[in-house]
């Protein structure tokens, strides 16, 4: 377990020394969210209707854009091979990397989303639900995306390939994440959606490190 925390601390320290990389995903989210009202029009009713979906898609794309960075740098400088060869279980170490990556690129999206929701004229309870659904959903995105990132390590056209691989797999998270806010807005209550998001999070956290380790071993062999 100490190896897990050491790796998380190391990845966080590395991330804070390359602030531009961390912030670029976040700014992408802000800019994309600002493009939609410009394209669709400023009517508050329309924006309120599309807001949750747009913000969810924006967060999904932003967290996908940062995926190649998850293993790429470690792979280039060779530290990834040391992780694979180390006596600690690789799954645990990979989980640490995913967790650190989520803290750096997923959690800021969760914190920023309610603010952007104000631009879409979302009511306050919808803002809270948006943050909650992203809090439960973005870790799933990181877990699934990590598999794609591990598989495309060092492959030609890696970035676009990751998108092609993981976006179809993101569909359930998107459906229930955006659906939670939608359900709350329409007065149905979002408890079922939140439960299902949680039900997706737990197996994702359990199985993803395992699949990632397999993918990393394939990539490094």
Contact status, residue 149 vs residue 216, Cβ threshold 8 Å:
no
Query: Which residues from 40-59 bind another protein, rule CB under 8 A?
Result: none
CA end-to-end span of the chain, whole Å? 26
Note whether 187 binds another protein by CB under 8 A: no
Candidate list 176, 185, 190, 201; residue touching another protein; CB under 8 A: 176
Q: Nearest CA to 70 among 137, 174, 166, 2? A: 166
Binding mask 88-127 for another protein (x = CB under 8 A): ----------------------------------------
Would residue 88 be called left, alpha or beta, if left means φ above 0 and alpha means ψ between -120 and 50 degrees? beta
Instruction: In angstroms, give the least distance from the CB of 171 to another protein.
Output: 5
Q: Among residues 8 and 80, whose Cβ is nearest to another protein?
A: 80
Candidate list 78, 87, 157, 187; residue touching another protein; CB under 8 A: 157
Note whether 180 binds another protein by CB under 8 A: no
Q: Among residues 41 and 168, whose Cβ is nearest to another protein?
A: 168
Note whether 165 binds another protein by CB under 8 A: yes
Backbone angles phi, psi at 215, to 5 degrees: -65, -40
Candidate list 113, 200, 201, 209; residue touching another protein; CB under 8 A: 200
Q: Nearest CA to 29 among 103, 97, 99, 111? A: 111
Contact status, residue 54 vs residue 120, Cβ threshold 8 Å:
yes
């Amino acid at each position: 377990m100490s190896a897990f925390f050491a790796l998380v601390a190391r990845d966080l320290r590395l991330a804070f020394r390359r602030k531009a990389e961390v912030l670029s995903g976040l700014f992408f989210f802000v800019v994309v969210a600002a493009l939609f009202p410009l394209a669709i029009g400023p009517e508050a009713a329309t924006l309120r209707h599309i807001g949750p979906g747009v913000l969810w898609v924006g967060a999904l794309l932003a967290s996908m854009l940062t995926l190649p960075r998850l293993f790429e740098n470690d792979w280039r400088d060779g530290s990834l091979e040391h992780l694979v060869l180390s006596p600690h279980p690789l799954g645990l170490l990979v989980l640490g990397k995913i967790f650190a990556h989520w803290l750096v690129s997923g959690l800021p999206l969760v914190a920023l989303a309610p603010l952007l929701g104000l631009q879409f004229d979302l009511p306050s309870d919808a803002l809270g639900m948006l943050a909650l659904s992203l809090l439960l959903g973005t870790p799933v995105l990181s877990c699934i995306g990590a598999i794609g990132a591990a598989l495309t390590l060092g492959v030609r056209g890696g970035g676009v390939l990751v998108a092609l691989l993981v976006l179809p797999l993101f569909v359930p998270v998107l459906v229930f994440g955006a659906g939670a806010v939608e359900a709350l807005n329409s007065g149905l209550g979002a408890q079922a959606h939140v439960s299902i998001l949680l039900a997706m999070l737990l197996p994702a956290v359990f199985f993803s490190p395992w699949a990632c380790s397999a993918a990393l071993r394939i990539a490094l062999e």
